[in-house]
Amino acid sequence: MTAPRHFLTLMDLSADEIRLLIDRAIELKAQWRAGNPQRSMEGKVLAMIFTKASTRTRVSFEAGMAQLGGSALFLSGQDTQLGRGEPIEDTAKVISSMVDMVMIRTFAHADVETFAQHSRVPVINGLTDDYHPCQILADLQTFFEVRGDIQGKTVCWLGDGNNVCHSWMNAARQLDFEVVVACPEGYDPDPTLLGACSQWVRIERDASRAVQGADLLVTDVWASMGQEAEQNQRAANLAPYQLNRPLLDLAAPDALYMHCLPAHRGEEISAELMEAPDTVIWQEAENRLHAQKALMELLIGG
């Protein structure tokens, strides 16, 4: 049996594979819109384990599998024996003996790595405390659709140096573009990752300076899942980094802006930008469906 291909971070694919995946996602989207069913997952089953909440990730994987002729199982941490302490290793051996692929959303990234080590089938990271690579596949697809290749462009990340920011940093070293992280002290991305990405990523404390000339501004919630108790402190410290019209006006004239959602209007993004009729945020959300279909095809051997 050949070793399964996992997708725990963007570094699990090559740059060429990421580009091919984006092309395929765009093609799958066009076929779906044209009403031409693609049945590349006929008879395949995806198990989805969630120990954190989700709207987009769950719906896009479940709908995506159904549209490709396969099916998906929703497993909450609470309702499985995982929630009662069954070891991840044992769970991985058993679940992966019954399904074709597993998607996991949980807290510790190490738990997804452990699962993958003991899985006979591909494991997809649907978000951990450290990374959210599926989100960035959809974000990249959106940028390519609207503006073309991202190589050589500048992306400004505004706010908490969190899991989504980390995946943008990995994307920068894979596809060779710059990421300027605008955040206050205490909210920097992981220092080890920063070291690995230093050729593509820099930190800028001043939000107005950080966004100058950027081709894309990206933000995310100030308190991620698991950090709810820090919400007020985080909101106070991160307020100068709100994605809003005055900052967008300092970026490149055709700059895009993105948010992985769910969003808090008036906190990390202004209500005006969320409501703007020309925002690509809804296209970005829909692209979760298409990018993940292309990802599943690639991992299963497409």
Those residues whose C-beta lies under 8 Å from the C-beta of residue 205, and which sit 6 or more positions away, are 182, 183, 184, 185
- Binder to ligand CP among 56, 153, 173, 293 (CB under 6 A)? 56
Question: Shortest distance, CB of residue 57 to ligand CP, whole angstroms?
Answer: 3
Interface residue with ligand NVA, options 9, 67, 106, 163 (CB under 6 A): 163
- Residue 274 to residue 263: CA distance in whole angstroms: 8
Question: Which CB sits closer to ligand NVA, 163 or 174?
Answer: 163
Residue 174, both tokens: 């894979």
Number of amino acids touching ligand NVA (CB under 6 A): 10
**Which residue in 31, 40, 54, 231 binds ligand CP (CB under 6 A)?**
54
**209: amino acid identity, one letter:** R
Closest CB to ligand CP among 196 and 261? 261
Question: Shortest gap between Cβ of 139 and ligand CP (angstroms)?
Answer: 10
Residue 114, both tokens: 């452990």
Listed ranges 1-9, 38-46, 195-203, 216-224: which one lies at the site for ligand NVA (CB under 6 A): 216-224
164 binds ligand NVA (CB under 6 A): yes
Burial class of residue 179 in the structure, from the number of CB atoms within 10 Å of its CB (0-12 exposed, 13-18 middle, 19+ buried): buried
Active site residues: 105, 132, 135, 220, 260, 288
For ligand CP, which residue of 119, 128, 135, 163 counts as binding (CB under 6 A)? 135
Taking Cα atoms as reference points, which of 90, 241, 82, 96 lies closest to residue 160? 241
d(CA 216, CA 256): 5
The amino acid that residue 58 corresponds to is R
Q: Which of 24, 62, 11, 7 is nearest to 291 (CA)?
A: 24
Residue with tokens 């809804």: 282
42-101 positions binding ligand NVA, by CB under 6 A = none
Choices 48-56, 142-150, 270-278, 289-297; region in contact with ligand CP by CB under 6 A: 48-56
Binding partner of 78, given ligand NVA, ligand CP, none, CB within 5-8 angstroms per partner class = none
Q: Say how far apart CA 92 and CA 110 lie, in whole Å.
A: 14
Structure tokens at 123: 């494991």
CB of 220 vs ligand NVA, minimal distance in Å: 5
Q: Smallest distance from the beta carbon of 258 to ligand CP, in angstroms? A: 11
- Cα-Cα end-to-end distance for the chain: 17
Q: Where do contacts with ligand NVA occur on this chain (CB under 6 A)?
A: 127, 132, 162-164, 220-221, 224-225, 260
